[in-house]
Amino acid sequence: MYARELGNGAELRPLEPWRAGEFLEHMDRGREHVGRFIGLADAAVDLDSARAWLQSYADKAAADAGRLDGIWLEGRLVGGVLFRTFDAEQGVCEAGCWLEPSATGRGLVTRAVRVLIDWAFRERGMHRVEWWAASENAASLAVAERLGMRRDAVLRGYREHHGVRHDIEIWSVLAPEWEAAS
């Protein structure tokens, strides 16, 4: 399998169903942090549910409808990046991420998402990459900004998570913008 160096002891590689045990351990270390704004922490609570969640992305990859990669730091899984949606026909996809607290503040997500976006535009010919995040999720919004994305909209009160309604910001970058900035 491939691995893509991200620098400073970090690498990006496929996060596949056979890694369910490692993925569950990672979720257990970062569950509270990861679960503040996204449902992933609730979706992988035991080995079976962790395997099922990873399998759902393996199925998406096989159907050309999504993609999932893990971020390893010094050999330990600490987070991941994904295409939550991937519509090759329309040329639009949505990237996302998560990271456990021990790995924050190192630029790992920004570097990993940059790899995904490069692949989407250069290899797959996508036209638009979106980034959806809760308005309160300052770290996620900072990633979008560092990647040169623009805020397109705020969906007020759009998503309920753990009993709280969140505004969701939609950011995007278009292929010509990405190419001009590269």
CATH number of the domain within which 131 lies: 3.40.630.30
Q: How far apart are CA 134 and CA 176, in angstroms?
A: 26
Q: What is the mean pLDDT of the chain?
A: 96
Confidence of residue 1 (pLDDT cuts 50, 70, 90): low
Per-residue pLDDT tens for 128-181? 999 999 999 999 999 999 999 999 999 999 999 999 999 999 999 999 999 999
Domain count, the chain: 1
How far is residue 66's CA from residue 123's CA, in Å, rounded to a whole number? 15
Structural domain range at position 53: 4-181
- Starting at the edge strand that comes first in sequence, how are the strands of the sheet with 92-99 ordered? 4-7, 10-14, 67-73, 76-87, 92-99, 128-134, 164-174, 150-161
Over the stretch 70-103, which tens digit does the pLDDT of each residue have? 999 999 999 999 999 999 999 999 999 999 999 9
Q: What is the pLDDT of residues 26-54, one digit of tens each?
A: 999 999 999 999 999 999 999 999 999 99
Model pTM greater than 0.75?
yes
Are 172 and 125 within 8 A, CB to CB? no
The pLDDT of residue 182: 84
Task: Tell me which H or E stretch contains 4.
Answer: strand 4-7
Looking at residue 69, what is its pLDDT? 98
